[in-house]
Amino acid sequence: MEEKNIAAADAPAKLDFIREIVASDVTAGRNNGKVVTRFPPEPNGYLHIGHAKAISIDFGIASEFGGVCHLRMDDTNPTKEETEYVESIQADVRWLGFEFGEHFYYASDYFDRMYECAEKLIGMGKAYVCDLTAEEFEQYRGNLENPGKNPPGRSRSVEENLALFRRMKAGEFADGEKVLRAAIDMSSPNIHMRDPVIYRIRRTEHFRQGDKWCIYPMYDFAHALEDAFEGITHSICTLEFEIHRPLYDWVVNTLGFVNPPHQYEFARLSLDYTVMSKRKLLQLVKEHYVSGWDDPRMPTISGMRRRGITPEAIRRFCEVIGVTKFNSQTDLALFEHCVREDLNKRCPRYLAVIDPLKVTVTNYPEGETDWLDAVNNPEDPEAGMRKLPFSRNLYIEKSDFMEVPVKGYFRLAPGAEVRLRYGYFLRCNEVVKDASGEIVELKCTIDPATRGGNSSDGRKVKGTIHWVSADHAVRSQVRLYDRLFSVAEPGADGVDFLTQLNPDSLKEATAWMEPELGKVRVGDRVQFERLGYFACDPDSTPEALVFNRTMTLKDSWGRKAAGK
């Protein structure tokens, strides 16, 4: 399965089952060959990587088949929606590289038309007002083994139903006192078809409609109508809506829409070590487990953007996982692989040290600087070269020195020689410790004949380490991220997902960077050699840049795919 994904990454595009349907509809001239899709988020949270999958499918298919994709706020539930979410959704869709242009809609703009459709159904004898209590409602509905029975209200006349529904709208009844139901079939094997509720009373202000309405349409009814009003041809959604499809079809067919939309379902994305329920993401934000919706540890589009992930990497990932009808768990390593492949091509390389150990080059004069030549990006010849300062005082990474080296350790050790990246061979002659025995400094010498990294006498060193000149280094703050959760499926088996947060998901440190990095701007992405990809965070100030580590360099996907 996983190997197939990698192979699929290089194979020519093959149509998935939805694209096959769309292609054959276009060929057959259905809807005059027009393709209109939509992405319909509820504006009750920020978009996440699962939505990116849906967006890639909805917008992707529309553009591949010369159609359009609508962005529609599915704002029929007045309790949880906000303008902040609407704005973030628009921005995120655009950032991902998709355009809806003038095709931006609100479901709430259709409330009048939806209400008319409800009256029309009543007029056809296809909807009725029901006044069962919640408990009675359950009893009448039956269950999987037993059919339901017709509620008393079902036998009311059209006139009575119409009058009652108008009184519901006028606010004459309390919340929950009455509902409007579609008259379908109380004995249907599909519970959703047992006279589903299509309108309920709810005295809540709507963020766009204010208190104009005290009755609101239910999702299945409203959604089918929104698609029909907009002339959607292919209404693509996730598998949990499959069982709602007969009701969807009932609504658009009973109301007599010409060329009604068809609904198709695909498997939602579930990613290891990630929660995607908006309710849970909201809880992480509201209860301050993260710094906000755009915390770089969040699976939100805005979090990923801040972390340094590109829209191209996200779109590539969506392409590689494909579109199927089987729910499954996607390995986080595959996602990270797509991110690294993309960053590897685009990020300039720099040298920075995060956990510094002082090195004094005793045979290099104090106060002098040697400007070395460094390659900006070996993956991109156009990226050019830069100058890298070398001086008597350096920092190297603590982990690149071992006083008593273990077998196979090729970095610095007493008496050993290592290559400084783009610099010289460096030999360690003396280890300086403080009173507590901790190593605080290494006294070393360089071989001046190895400038640029190679010896003239054929002498080889196995290890190359990164370093910076302490005399020239620029300080910055770095945020090192790990997975937000410590288990692959947070919240599974009834465990509270909040108890499974990874306590080490964020570590803050100081980085000592080569001076060229001082020129980096907010949003820029770079590689610190051997340490990972980093993105410059908006929290940066003129005094100190802040970098988010997008990802380390080590890609575990290839190994996993090969079964190692």
- Catalytic residue numbers? 42, 268, 278
CB atoms within 10 A of CB 451: 16
Out of 156, 268, 427, 451, point to the residue binding ligand ATP (CB under 6 A): 268
> Residue 283 interacts with ligand ATP (CB under 6 A)?
no
Containing 320, the helix (H) or strand (E) segment is helix 311-321
φ, ψ at 91 (rounded to 5°): -65, -40
Choose between 275 and 413: whose C-beta lies nearer to ligand ATP: 275
Choose between 276 and 470: whose C-beta lies nearer to ligand ATP: 276
Containing 430, the helix (H) or strand (E) segment is strand 425-433
Residue whose Cβ sits closest to ligand ATP: 50
Cα–Cα distance, 523 to 538 (Å, whole number): 7
> Residue 41 interacts with ligand ATP (CB under 6 A)?
yes
What residue has token string 């106060």? 367
**Shortest approach of ligand ATP to residue 77 CB, angstroms?**
10
Contacts for 421 with CB less than 8 Å, ≥ 6 apart: 351, 374, 453, 464, 465, 466, 467, 529
Q: Which of 284, 126, 255 is nearest to 196 (CA)?
A: 126
Residues 324/326/327/328 CA torsion (nearest 10 deg): -90
Span from 38-46, 126-134, 149-157, 367-375 in contact with ligand ATP (CB under 6 A): 38-46
**Shortest approach of ligand ATP to residue 296 CB, angstroms?**
20
**Shortest approach of ligand ATP to residue 70 CB, angstroms?**
12
> Residue 301 interacts with ligand ATP (CB under 6 A)?
no
Cα–Cα distance, 526 to 474 (Å, whole number): 15
Site string for ligand ATP, 210-239 (x = CB under 6 A): ---------------------------xx-
Whether the Cβ atoms of residue 180 and residue 127 lie closer than 8 Å to each other: yes
Out of 139, 277, 363, 429, point to the residue binding ligand ATP (CB under 6 A): 277
Choose between 277 and 363: whose C-beta lies nearer to ligand ATP: 277
Torsion sign across C-alpha atoms 66, 52, 72, 198: positive
Region 132-191 residues binding ligand ATP, contact defined as CB under 6 A: none
**Tokens representing 233?**
């041809």
Span from 24-32, 35-43, 352-360, 407-415 in contact with ligand ATP (CB under 6 A): 35-43
**Shortest approach of ligand ATP to residue 278 CB, angstroms?**
4
> Residue 278 interacts with ligand ATP (CB under 6 A)?
yes
Choose between 53 and 411: whose C-beta lies nearer to ligand ATP: 53
**Shortest approach of ligand ATP to residue 53 CB, angstroms?**
4
What residue has token string 């006028």? 170
**Shortest approach of ligand ATP to residue 103 CB, angstroms?**
16
> Residue 96 interacts with ligand ATP (CB under 6 A)?
no
The site for ligand ATP, by CB under 6 A, has a size of 15
Q: Which letter does DSSP use for residue 13 in this model?
A: P
φ, ψ at 414 (rounded to 5°): -55, 125
Choose between 40 and 311: whose C-beta lies nearer to ligand ATP: 40
**Shortest approach of ligand ATP to residue 313 CB, angstroms?**
17
> Residue 54 interacts with ligand ATP (CB under 6 A)?
yes
- Helix 311-321 / helix 332-346 crossing angle, nearest 10 deg: 140
Name the β-bridge partners of 510. Answer: 477
> Residue 272 interacts with ligand ATP (CB under 6 A)?
no
Number of DSSP helices (H) and strands (E) in the chain, helices first: 14, 27
**Shortest approach of ligand ATP to residue 48 CB, angstroms?**
7
> Residue 42 interacts with ligand ATP (CB under 6 A)?
yes
> Residue 53 interacts with ligand ATP (CB under 6 A)?
yes
Choose between 53 and 525: whose C-beta lies nearer to ligand ATP: 53
**Shortest approach of ligand ATP to residue 332 CB, angstroms?**
14
> Residue 50 interacts with ligand ATP (CB under 6 A)?
yes
> Residue 51 interacts with ligand ATP (CB under 6 A)?
yes
At 527, is the secondary structure helix, strand, or coil? strand
Choose between 286 and 521: whose C-beta lies nearer to ligand ATP: 286
Whether the Cβ atoms of residue 35 and residue 62 lie closer than 8 Å to each other: yes
Cα–Cα distance, 291 to 307 (Å, whole number): 13
Span from 34-42, 93-101, 177-185, 306-314 in contact with ligand ATP (CB under 6 A): 34-42
**DSSP labels, 340-363:** HHHHHHHPPEE-EESSEEEEEETT
CB atoms within 10 A of CB 341: 16
Choose between 283 and 540: whose C-beta lies nearer to ligand ATP: 283
**Tokens representing 454?**
């190679």
Out of 6, 8, 132, 276, point to the residue binding ligand ATP (CB under 6 A): 276
At 57, is the secondary structure helix, strand, or coil? helix
Choose between 269 and 396: whose C-beta lies nearer to ligand ATP: 269
Binding-site ranges for ligand ATP (CB under 6 A): 40-42, 50-51, 53-54, 237-238, 268-269, 276-279
